[in-house]
Homo-oligomer: A and B are copies of this chain.
């Protein structure tokens, strides 16, 4: 290595990751200098393994298996596949009592919700009940959350309804529509389970909260608009879902509006909204809002258990692409809701929910559901909250709920009669209006304008373009924000806070003052191909501006540029080349370039690319303070001012 390497210590083994202070510093100086060391040496394979582990196994799932006998490992393995084995052995009567109470409570909510959500998805009401029977049973065996109440949910239902009915009419082609719904459910489950199996759980992280707020509100508006058909009594209504065609259809068919229907609809809507208002004020009275739709959703429904539907799945034909697309969109949306709800209640009771395991549980439950006449299900926020408040202790409450639904399916079905369109419309309207969370959107506006923008993109994308495209636009905007941030990173000029070793932004801290002869810059991002050119030009502009400032104030000449690399968490070959190029350009202007505190991985690459040697003896320091002190004393020793 070159002459600059006395401050870069090479480690022989990972256990020897250290350096002695550079006591062998040849220059006459009283400054204590700490050398920057390389991280412990690792082979490319070790690094790949670590990186791989960080990406796919951040939870270190094998941790528990270490230092265990084979028998224990088998038991642990079984427990991690079927969490029921973990808590099953300690299950007692006291827990059962709590679970029965909460299970029956959520059943009273699940039956009316199942019926109206099925309507949202343009499916026969009975499918909503079927979906509240099989999936909860499967989840109770596979799921790791204790409080998640499983069943159909509003967003997934309305997305499925709007995506499928754009191509197939649920009234004219009802069999095909049902087939498509089950097939979509199958693909949703397959997609969810694969994400879990391949440990790609981070995919759902790309749906930010801002995106979801906007998306939900947009979907809710779309569904509300669809209900205008029933509420206004319009017969000839558009099959499209977007805002503009629906509104034009509403107003071009004004002759079909019937004031009797409108009056009745509004009256019913008022009752529903009042009961909802009561139950929101007094959570204990939640059953009022739950029961009021129950009292009205009375239709003629067949008696009996879920019929098998695996023969209705189809894996070829012209609508397959639609089914897959719908499956992926509803799958990712329901997964996001399920995982988020599971995490919320787990954190309230301070236990861990494993994201990847939950994905597999939800995925398998949907795949099984698609074969037993169920459509997409997941953990519902409203029902899980009721479950938690009613004192649920384990997933047994899901089993109790399923049993209650079973009884309903077997014996209580004849109680249900036909419900007029207008009442269903009012029920659905009440349900979806609650999904428009304008307060959350206002909070986004207050704290983070860009998040608000994402939210609006997602809202208007869904409303004006289409459901999957709206979602894609919002995710695209979120990713673009990350890329933009990486492409145009922040650089700050640092100054010293007098009497300390603290260096901070001179713009932000007035007590931070510039050091004559130095320009201290902090780069606040990794240096990548996407920003290396920009950073290089931005630094040169900093230097031009600094020199202009010095000229104006008759300050002392600029001699050294210190780059604080603390926040540069990564560098690639383009970034390294940019540093080389910067050094070369600065040399032409007789300016020295000094790097301060590069992080481990950056240091390693700088070392491999030999840039450290080319920077020379005083080109690398651990802190800005040490760099300034050491360089100043060197200059003094050479008789420079």
On A, residues with C-beta under 8 Å from B are 16-19, 21, 32, 34, 37-40, 44, 47-48, 54-55, 58-60, 202, 205-211, 343, 347, 350, 355, 443-444, 446-451, 478-479, 482-490, 492, 497, 500-502, 504-505, 507-511, 524-526, 528-534, 537-538, 541, 566-567, 569-570, 572-574, 576-577, 581, 584-585, 588-589, 599-601, 605, 608-609, 622-623
* Copies per assembly: 2
Q: Determine if A530 and B206 form an interchain contact, defined as CB atoms under 8 angstroms apart.
A: yes
**A209 engages B528 (CB within 8 Å):** no
Chain B's nearest CB lies how many Å from the CB of A310?
35
When distances are taken between beta carbons in the complex, the residues of chain B under 8 Å from A504 are 622
* Cβ distance A20 to chain B, nearest Cβ, rounded Å: 8
A30 to chain B, nearest CB (A): 15
* The residue from B449, B479, B509, B534 contacting A17, defined by CB atoms under 8 A apart: B509
Find out whether the CB atom of B350 lies under 8 angstroms from the CB atom of A588: yes
CA of A524 to CA of B599 in the docked complex: distance in angstroms? 9
Contacting pair A205 B55 (CB below 8 A): no
Report yes or no: B605 in contact with A448, Cβ–Cβ below 8 A.
yes
Q: In the complex the two chains form, what is the Cα distance from A202 to B480 in whole Å?
A: 13
- Assess the A524–B609 pair: CB atoms within 8 A: no
Residues of B within 8 A of A37 (CB): 508-509
Task: Knowing A581-B347, A605-B447 are in contact, say whether A533-B205 is a contact too (CB < 8 A).
Answer: yes
Chain B contacts of A577 at CB under 8 A? Answer: 209
Are A202's CB and B530's CB within 8 A?
Answer: yes
Q: Report yes or no: B448 in contact with A502, Cβ–Cβ below 8 A.
A: no
| Docked-complex contact B205 and A490, CB < 8 angstroms | no
Q: Is the CB of A205 within 8 A of B530?
A: yes
Q: A447-B573, A508-B40, A524-B599 are known contacts. Are A483 and B482 too (CB-CB below 8 A)?
A: yes
17 more A-B residue pairs beyond the given contacts A19-B509, A58-B541, with a C-beta to C-beta distance below 8 A? A17-B508, A18-B509, A19-B511, A38-B508, A202-B534, A208-B529, A208-B573, A210-B573, A443-B573, A447-B605, A448-B573, A451-B572, A478-B530, A479-B483, A482-B482, A482-B528, A524-B569
Contact of A508 with B585 in the complex, beta carbons under 8 Å: no
Residue of B nearest to A581 (CB): B347
CB distance from A431 to the nearest CB of B (A): 26
Given A48-B449, A623-B502, check contact A54 B581 (CB 8 Å). Answer: no
CB-defined A-B contacts under 8 Å, sample of 9: A32-B500, A60-B541, A208-B528, A208-B572, A350-B589, A443-B573, A478-B529, A505-B599, A566-B567
In the bound assembly, the distance between CA atoms of A24 and B205 in angstroms comes to 43
Cα distance A483–B483 in the bound complex, in angstroms: 8
The distance from the CB of A126 to the nearest CB of chain B, in whole angstroms, is 37
**CA–CA, A507 to B19, complex, Å?**
12
User: For residue A526, which residues in chain B have a CB less than 8 angstroms away from its CB?
Assistant: 485
Contact A529 B487 (CB under 8 A): no
Minimum CB–CB distance from A407 to chain B (whole Å) comes to 39
Q: Residues of B contacting A448 with CB < 8 Å?
A: 572-573, 605
Contacting A505 at CB < 8 Å: which of B55, B487, B600? B600
Residues of B within 8 A of A534 (CB): 58, 202, 205
With known contacts A39-B508, A209-B574, A569–B528 Cβ distance under 8 A: no
Cβ contacts under 8 Å, A18 to chain B = 509-511
The answer to whether B210 touches A40 (Cβ under 8 A) is no
Chain B proximity of A233: nearest CB distance (Å): 42
- Can you name the residue of chain B whose Cβ is closest to the Cβ of A538? B58
Min distance, Cβ A293 to any Cβ of chain B, angstroms: 32
Contact B446–A608 (Cβ < 8 Å): yes
What is the minimal beta-carbon distance from A218 to any residue of chain B, in angstroms?
18
Tell me, in angstroms, the Cα distance from A380 to B538 when the chains sit together.
26
Q: Which of B55, B207, B451 contacts A484 (CB 8 A)?
A: B55
